[in-house]
Structure 1
Amino acid sequence: MVSTSSTPPPPKEKEEKGGEKWREGEGKRRAKWWYSTFPPAPAMIGAGVLSLPSAISFLGWGPGTMVLVMAWGMTLNTMWQMVQLHECVPGTRFDRYIDLGRFAFGPKLGPWIVLPQQLIVQVGCNIVYMVTGGKCLKKFVDITCSGSCADIRQSYWILIFGGVHFFLSQLPNFNSVAGVSLAAAVMSLSYSTIAWVGSLTRGRIPDVSYAYRRTNPTDSIFRIFNALGQISFAFAGHAVALEIQATMPSSPEKPSRVPMWHGVIGAYFVNAICYFPVALICYWVFGQDVDDNVLLNLQRPDWLIASANLMVVVHVIGSYQVFAMPVFDLLEGVMVKRFNFSPGLVLRLFPRSIYVAFTLFVAVTFPFFGDLLGFFGGFGFAPTSFFLPSIMWLIIKKPKRLSITWLINWVSIFIGLFIMVASTVGGLRNIIADSSTYSFYT
């Protein structure tokens, strides 16, 4: 392995850091290792966990389990790479994915490779969380009212959920959402446990079938491709990993990669005890009849299912802010540099409110939970979580050709590219197909 310790910090990086002192909280790197667990946990254990049994139903027991285990291992490896690359140049911290992209691919090419993929992940997650929050809020009210409340359109529930974020979006930075992230992490673990324990307690449904879910051959292929995207969507966190690590203090004696890696291990442990029981137990119970949101299959007891849906609402409220914060950072940077806005309330209020309104509009227009997971999972998550870190590792660290590290990275790249292409095509096709039979804004 070739060392890069003598490589000087790129001039562009110095310019970027010098030109961004306006940001609120600049230089306040006081986060501890346990803080690095809370934002990644709700980022990774998102709404995607509820669709894993559905993805397994299209792939089957063997292939589905294999893909799930492979995705867990591959993304843990690429997360480790990002933690190590955060300070791969002594004296320089790559605080954002785009900063690392500039160093790896060059100041001109880097932003064009990294920024679109990162934005797709962050914006896509926020759209899906709007849909998830609205649907689960409606389910919670329907259960607790027991038919005595007026039936309100799903679109209105999404609007109600989105309205909360117009206020929460004014929180200034990552440090300020620590409490929200902690609540989201606890909720994600709780509702995941309710999903698999509730399914296990219910027992297998009569005449359960584990045969592949089939319609016509063409539709089946696209649904399988979409299932790959659903699994990819479940492994997030990479798009905000460097921003989270940037909140930690670092010195030559105590580099930030040590506490950050401890936090990542904690987050992936929580990830494993949520994902594998939900995916395998819920599929065992419901088979090919499982819904793309497994909580919708559970009917009893009412209070427990209502609680689980409310937990999902709390979780996606926190996760929305975790993924939105880097986008807010980018938008405010553009407002300051291009339009000479001054730091303050107006700077936060204007771009952040427009962004929340945009994600809310798309969510109300296309509330297709499973299809959105597949599309964004392939188009955005596969690059940022599966193969972009491996490409940057090969460029920066230059491992010996045909070594174990070299081979692992190339395998990750090829698998990630296949998942990206297949699930993007499958998700987009399914969105178009489902739109043809959907009554919009109802």
Structure 2
Amino acid sequence: MVAESLSDAELARQKEIDDWLPITSARNAKWWYSAFHNVTAMVGAGVLSLPYAISELGWGPGIAILILSWIITLYTLWQMVEMHEMVPGKRFDRYHELGQQAFGPKLGLWIVVPQQVIVEVGVCIVYMVTGGKSLKKVHNVLCPSCKDIKTSYWIMIFASSHFVLSHLPNFNSMSGISLAAAIMSLSYSTIAWATALNKGVVPNVDYSYKATTKAGTVFNFFSGLGDIAFAYAGHNVVLEIQATIPSTPEKPSKGPMWKGVVVAYIVVALCYFPVAIVGYYVYGNTVEDNILISLEKPAWLIAAANLFVVVHVIGSYQVFAMGVFDMLETFLVLKMKFRPSFLLRFVTRTTYVAITMFIGIAIPFFGGLLGFFGGFAFAPTTYFLPCIMWLAIYKPKIFSLSWCTNWFCIIVGVTLMLLAPIGALRGIILQAKTYKFFS
């Protein structure tokens, strides 16, 4: 009897914790929530560097890799949606839970969690910098004669919004922000390629490689691979998004989730392909690593596009931060035995926002670092970790279609993981001469 009541008490505590944690507390999301959370997570400000990536890769390889990445990541996303409820009556609400199912309780954690943390925290820091720089650009475009304000201050202004928004309890409570962010990503992508097309091809446009040496061309090519790999980083929060959708044996969550993913991927294609192709077509190898910088006029439109970037990055930051909050709060409540409370959440989240802000201000070359770390973490979690899990769990027959498809994705993903950091590391070394901390 005692054992029974103890297990009841444990179950009650487990339910109390689940009802409090950000990922599992609200399971009433609609399929369209999945669509705009996925767009917000996927279409980062990285879309604006795609023309530059194509200029490093060249026309043929660039477009081939862009399309191949779109197909592979859609396939691996489908696998994750399918695996979310592959054990009847159980849901893998977090990426690492799926990892533990595939690789065992200890190894699964060690394989998934470090990579997921690098991606989610890394993206949050980059978005701090992106948000601050975009605000600065809006200020400079609208008021060219005003006194110049340091980027550090703009990052602080941008961070102030997160000190408020990070206290939204769960994914469903931020669906409005996510929707706004998804609309913004489509808007600024459209502004970027439409304005470039309207401007027309620049005189004496040159589509050859920019680097003068053979080695330079090869390293730039690796770096371009990295830029494209980072444009597809939404997988790190996909199970967490699916966890918010209700599920019954008759109507499993994978139906509405997959519907949302397909809509999201159509939006991703509408954002990525026109920006990448038109941007490179118009500017050739003179395109900047952020296409909005290449477009100088009309001033009001460039200011609007940068403002859209700010709104979108606010939403994206929250989507990625929610996964980190869930990890931190799970650790504090389950392992450190803290009671679930408002105070615990307030301290944890405020501290996290402050740390990402501080790193963003301190290290101005974080974009290069992300290229370096991202190669190790983005490519696996997006391109091939789902395939390895699929092979480990379902064990398809050797040389069957499923087996061959998964191995193809694994080979492409591992190649990306090995080559992208090389290009990024060289970029950091070349630029290191001019870096100033806290600039």
TM-score band (shorter)?
Answer: over 0.9
Structure 2 CA distance for aligned equivalents of residues 102 and 424 of structure 1? 27
Structure-2 residue corresponding to 1:183: 180
> What percentage of aligned pairs have identical amino acids?
58
Structure-2 residue corresponding to 1:114: 112
Conservation of the 8 A alpha-carbon contact between 1:48 and 1:373: no
Which segment is superposed worse, 370-379 or 285-294? 370-379
Q: Deviations over 1:135-187 (max 9, x none)?
A: 11111111111x23210112221222122211111111111111110000000
Partner of 1:209, secondary structure, is coil
Which segment is superposed worse, 40-49 or 348-357? 348-357
RMSD: 1.8
Structure 2 CA distance for aligned equivalents of residues 17 and 205 of structure 1? 62
Partner of 1:307, secondary structure, is helix
Equivalent of residue 82 in structure 1, options 80, 85, 105: 80
Q: Does 1:299 align with 2:296?
A: yes
Structure 1 CA distance for aligned equivalents of residues 222 and 16 of structure 2? 43
Structure 2 CA distance for aligned equivalents of residues 429 and 342 of structure 1? 47
With over 3 angstroms needed to count, the CA separation of the structure-2 counterparts of 1:51 and 1:141, relative to structure 1, is same
Structure 1 CA distance for aligned equivalents of residues 21 and 370 of structure 2? 33
Q: Deviations over 1:200-243 (max 9, x none)?
A: 00111111110012044444333221211110110121100000
- Cα deviation for residue 83 of structure 1 reads 0.3
Conservation of the 8 A alpha-carbon contact between 2:129 and 2:361: yes
Equivalences for residues 364-383 of structure 1 within 5 A: 364-368=361-365, 371-383=368-380
Conservation of the 8 A alpha-carbon contact between 2:72 and 2:409: yes
Structure-2 residue corresponding to 1:6: none
Partner of 1:162, secondary structure, is helix
Q: Deviations over 1:234-264 (max 9, x none)?
A: 0121100000000011111111000000000
- Cα deviation for residue 376 of structure 1 reads 4.2
Q: Deviations over 1:182-203 (max 9, x none)?
A: 0000000000000000000011
Equivalent of residue 339 in structure 1, options 336, 339, 344: 336
Which segment is superposed worse, 374-383 or 123-132? 374-383
Equivalent of residue 93 in structure 2, options 76, 92, 95: 95
Structure 2 CA distance for aligned equivalents of residues 27 and 373 of structure 1? 32
Q: Does 1:280 align with 2:277?
A: yes
Instruction: Give unpaired runs (5+ residues) of structure 2.
Output: 1-10
Equivalent of residue 134 in structure 2, options 133, 136, 141: 136
Structure 1 CA distance for aligned equivalents of residues 255 and 301 of structure 2? 39
Structure 2 CA distance for aligned equivalents of residues 153 and 276 of structure 1? 34
Conservation of the 8 A alpha-carbon contact between 1:210 and 1:288: yes
Structure-2 residue corresponding to 1:313: 310
TM-score by length of 1: 0.93
Structure 2 CA distance for aligned equivalents of residues 284 and 369 of structure 1? 29
Equivalent AA in structure 1 for residue 142 of structure 2: T
**Stretches of 4+ moved more than 3 A in 1?**
14-20, 24-27, 215-220
Structure 2 CA distance for aligned equivalents of residues 291 and 117 of structure 1? 30
Equivalent AA in structure 1 for residue 129 of structure 2: V
Instruction: Give unpaired runs (5+ residues) of structure 1.
Output: 1-13
TM-score by length of 2: 0.94
Equivalent of residue 40 in structure 1, options 38, 42, 51: 38
Conservation of the 8 A alpha-carbon contact between 1:243 and 1:326: yes
Q: Deviations over 1:81-116 (max 9, x none)?
A: 000000011111000001100000000100000111
Q: Deviations over 1:350-377 (max 9, x none)?
A: 2212221222222223334752452243
Q: Does 1:60 align with 2:63?
A: no
Equivalent AA in structure 2 for residue 384 of structure 1: T
Conservation of the 8 A alpha-carbon contact between 1:57 and 1:283: yes
Aligned length: 428
Equivalent of residue 228 in structure 1, options 215, 225, 245: 225
With over 3 angstroms needed to count, the CA separation of the structure-2 counterparts of 1:222 and 1:17, relative to structure 1, is farther
Equivalent AA in structure 2 for residue 117 of structure 1: Q
- Cα deviation for residue 432 of structure 1 reads 3.3
Equivalent of residue 264 in structure 1, options 261, 264, 289: 261
Structure 2 CA distance for aligned equivalents of residues 80 and 149 of structure 1? 50
Structure-2 residue corresponding to 1:357: 354
Conservation of the 8 A alpha-carbon contact between 2:39 and 2:264: yes
